[in-house]
Amino acid sequence: MAPQIRTAVDFYERHPISAQIILTKLEAARGTLDGLRPDELFPHDQDHYGGTPANDALAKCAHIGSGTQVVDLCAGLGGPARYLAHCYGAFVTGVELTSAQAAGASELTRRVGLNKQVQVIEGNVIALPLPDEGQDAVVSQEALFHVPDLALALSEAHRVLRPGGRIAFTDWIAHKPLSAADEKLLWDGMAAATLINIDRHVELLRDAGFEIEAIEDETDRWAIILAERLRVYQKLRGEAEQADAPAGHDDFYKSYVLFVSLVQQKIMGGARFAAVKPA
């Protein structure tokens, strides 16, 4: 039996995607890791719904371009951070709570030669290890639902942004109240700590001092993406079981199936938020 989840760190320490897994796949396909390019990582390191186009949407919302100083909250293995650096010329600091993920992000970044533009540091988004008003943009991809105190995380984002700086992020949305059993399974399987609706996100952004610029409900798009991802995951899980190999921890699988169902019913979903710190 997998150990009980107590924090998001417990979840990501046993996450099915790691830097070593990515590098092993690439080495098997290429024969060597020499000369690895950033774009060769993109099919493997974008662990969020919508892939690289979702990064482009955030970049547009946050006005990211050459030389933009960006913070990526809950950066994981640094996929979006490297994408924004490589494709937009941004300088990105990722903040990641899980030490193994932060170390993996640094290894992948070094391998593709982006370590002068990207650093992923171990830290907590509710107490960012960054000075006041030093950043142009804050982004996050489908990760803030892991944060138990989202109000404090948004306050920290506001603190580190320069006046006129922007925040853009996607997050899970609870369109309707969830049952206690569903909330428990989503916690046990995917460390979902904060499941709130769009209006509550808006309230928290405004309370932190932001002015809302745009909100996009991504639920319909996510329903399609999630259904396909679940089919792929179930195929891989079945192959692992047939080979008498580990098929992943059951709570994750059960919670993922539940999440896909809830999104398809529009009980849950996702949304993209864009806001600005007034000048």
Within a domain: residue 2? no
Look at 158 and 21; give whichever has higher pLDDT: 158
Buried b / exposed e over 113-129, threshold 16 CB at 10 Å, is ebeebbbbebbebbebe
Within a domain: residue 119? yes
Instruction: Give the pLDDT of residue 244.
Output: 55
Across the range 89-99, mean pLDDT stands at 96
Q: Please, which pLDDT band fits residue 253 given cuts at 50, 70 and 90?
A: confident
Comparing CA positions, the residue from 2, 10, 118 lying closest to residue 68 is: 118
Condensed to tens digits (0 to 9), the pLDDT of residues 57-83 reads 999 999 999 999 999 999 999 999 999
Instruction: Give the pLDDT of residue 245.
Output: 47
- Integer Cα distance of 122 and 119 in angstroms: 10
Instruction: Give the pLDDT of residue 237.
Output: 64
Evaluate if residue 86 carries a pLDDT over 50.
Answer: yes
Instruction: Give the pLDDT of residue 5.
Output: 46
CATH number at residue 162: 3.40.50.150
- Integer Cα distance of 212 and 216 in angstroms: 12
Evaluate if residue 3 carries a pLDDT over 90.
Answer: no
Within a domain: residue 45? yes
Evaluate if residue 112 carries a pLDDT over 80.
Answer: yes
Instruction: Give the pLDDT of residue 13.
Output: 60
Identity (one letter) of the amino acid at 7?
A: T
Print the domain residue range for 125: 8-276
When divided into structural domains, the chain yields a total of 1
Contact partners, residue 48, CB within 8 Å, separation at least 6 = 54, 79, 80, 141, 142, 170
Within a domain: residue 93? yes
Side-chain half-sphere CA neighbours of 100 within 13 A? 14
Instruction: Give the pLDDT of residue 239.
Output: 63
Q: Is residue 275 a contact partner of residue 204, using CB atoms and an 8 Å limit?
A: no
Whole-number mean pLDDT of the chain?
A: 92
Cα torsion 94, 95, 100, 106 to 10°: value is 30
Tokens of 219: 């639920």
Instruction: Give the pLDDT of residue 241.
Output: 62
Condensed to tens digits (0 to 9), the pLDDT of residues 148-196 reads 999 999 999 999 999 999 999 999 999 999 999 999 999 999 999 999 9
Question: Percentage of the chain with pLDDT > 70?
Answer: 89
Within a domain: residue 3? no
Across the range 248-252, mean pLDDT stands at 72
Identity (one letter) of the amino acid at 175?
A: H
With helix as H, strand as E and coil as C, how does the chain read?
CCCCCCCHHHHHHCCCCCHHHHHHHHHHHHCCCCCCCHHHHHHHHCCCCCHHHHHHHHHHHHCCCCCCEEEEECCCCCHHHHHHHHHHCCEEEEEECCHHHHHHHHHHHHHCCCCCCEEEEECECCECCCCCCCEEEEEEECCHHHCCCHHHHHHHHHHHEEEEEEEEEEEEEECCCCCHHHHHHHHHHHCCCCCCCHHHHHHHHHHCCCEEEEEEECHHHHHHHHHHHHHHHHHHHHHHHHCCCCCCCHHHHHHHHHHHHHHHCCCEEEEEEEEECCC
Look at 53 and 242; give whichever has higher pLDDT: 53
Instruction: Give the pLDDT of residue 249.
Output: 62
Within a domain: residue 1? no
Q: Please, which pLDDT band fits residue 141 given cuts at 50, 70 and 90?
A: very high
Within a domain: residue 222? yes
CA distances from 95 to 122, 129, 140, 205, 222 (A): 6, 8, 10, 20, 25
Cβ neighbours around 263 below 10 Å, total: 25
- Integer Cα distance of 25 and 18 in angstroms: 11
Condensed to tens digits (0 to 9), the pLDDT of residues 196-230 reads 999 999 999 999 999 999 999 999 999 999 999 89
Which of 14-23, 117-126, 269-278 comes out lowest in average pLDDT?
A: 14-23
Instruction: Give the pLDDT of residue 11.
Output: 60
